[in-house]
């Protein structure tokens, strides 16, 4: 198998037919041995039904139906795990990223045999103001806290060689943040210009984006824990200096400072910092708890291919 094309489905029914037509047409120009893997990530619409109808018409299409919604990154890893191609191309199904990028990426990889990954990169962002501001804030926060540096111009679409894919499969985190894993894995990665549009529809709510920020930072950085230590040290030193100052005022100048309001304000400030610090530590402890249990990060309910339906057998990962 020369290439596997992997994409995920979540509220994606209106895109599937056109995506399949365009990606298959582009793949046929490159090779006759390819597969298209749709991973249904517990989509509440009729994405599974549409994907299965495409699967019945095209034996090169495989549909992985996950047991529930696991999230895009876990679903992508599930699709990559089932891909058997020597090259794996991942892309969003919503047509915001051009399916025809497959051919461009393929030829770019052939031009440099040493390249392991071709990544699409934007020259400029074209998205609504609020969405763009949230994206910029996310990348600035992540790069400030993490040793893994992410570009806010990289898109999902990328073409990967089998050696790089095998390296990705060695990451066994239950909670996985793929953009950082892609960079952390290393290898020789080349970026070429790509475009991306925004159709105004997104399944990422503000709550989901906020959760992704916390997940991403705590997955790839221990700096929040180190910062807690230094904040605690700063307050301890500061409090000690204030105590020494008050004692000197009392012993040598006979002054006694009073002020219930300032005292309570100080207590609330310190209490808030303590609670916040405990919350940060709690997040890391909860991640350890989840990783130690080693639960699968996705479970395939059924696999559909051509006219047959395969029951789930050891497809948890």
Q: Splitting the chain (317 residues) into consecutive groups of 10 residues, what average pLDDT does each group show?
A: 92 92 92 93 91 91 91 89 92 90 92 90 70 70 73 85 92 79 87 76 59 66 68 69 69 63 63 71 70 75 72 50
Is residue 134 in a domain? no
Give yes or no: residues 158 and 16 share one domain: yes
Domain count, the chain: 2
Res 243: pLDDT: 65
Cβ–Cβ < 8 Å for 91, 5: yes
Burial 63-98 (b: 16+ CB within 10 A, else e): bbbbeeebbbbbbbbbbbbbbebebbbbbbbbbbbb
CA–CA dist 63, 309 (Å, integer): 10
Give yes or no: residues 270 and 186 share one domain: no
CA–CA dist 43, 103 (Å, integer): 29
Cβ–Cβ < 8 Å for 38, 83: no
pTM of the model: 0.73
Q: Nearest 10 degrees: CA dihedral of 53, 56, 60, 62? A: 60
Res 291: pLDDT: 66
CA–CA dist 201, 11 (Å, integer): 10
| Range of the structural domain that residue 254 is part of | 223-293
Helix axis angle, 101-111 to 13-28, nearest 10°: 40
Give yes or no: residues 56 and 181 share one domain: yes
For position 38, which CATH number holds?
3.90.550.10
């Amino acid at each position: 198998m020369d290439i596997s094309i992997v994409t995920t489905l979540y509220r994606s029914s209106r895109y599937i037919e056109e995506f399949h037509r365009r990606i298959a047409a582009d793949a046929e120009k490159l090779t006759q041995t390819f597969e298209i893997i749709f991973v249904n990530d517990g989509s509440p619409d009729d994405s599974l039904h549409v994907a299965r109808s495409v699967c019945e018409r095209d034996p090169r299409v495989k549909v992985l139906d996950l047991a529930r919604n696991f999230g895009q990154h876990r679903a992508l890893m599930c699709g990559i795990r089932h891909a058997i191609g020597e090259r794996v191309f991942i892309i969003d199904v919503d047509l915001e990223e051009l399916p025809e990028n497959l051919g461009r990426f393929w030829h770019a990889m052939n031009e440099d045999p040493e390249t392991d990954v071709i990544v699409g990169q934007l020259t400029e962002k074209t998205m609504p103001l609020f969405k763009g501001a949230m994206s910029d804030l996310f990348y600035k926060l992540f790069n400030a806290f993490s040793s893994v540096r992410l570009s806010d111009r990289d898109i999902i679409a990328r073409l990967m060689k089998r050696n790089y894919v095998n390296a990705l499969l060695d990451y066994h985190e239950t909670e996985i943040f793929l953009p950082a894993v892609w960079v952390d894995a290393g290898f020789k990665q080349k970026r070429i210009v790509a475009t991306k549009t925004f159709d105004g529809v997104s399944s990422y709510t503000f709550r989901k984006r906020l959760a992704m920020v916390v997940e991403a930072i705590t997955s790839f950085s221990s700096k929040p824990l180190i910062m807690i230590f230094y904040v605690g040290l700063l307050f301890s030193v500061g409090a000690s200096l204030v105590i020494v100052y008050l004692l000197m005022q009392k012993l040598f100048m006979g002054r006694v400072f009073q002020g219930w309001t300032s005292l309570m304000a100080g207590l609330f400030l310190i209490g808030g910092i303590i609670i916040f610090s405990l919350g940060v530590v709690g997040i890391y402890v909860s991640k350890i708890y989840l990783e130690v249990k080693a639960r699968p990060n996705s479970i395939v309910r059924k696999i559909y291919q051509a006219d047959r339906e395969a029951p789930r057998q050891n497809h948890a990962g």
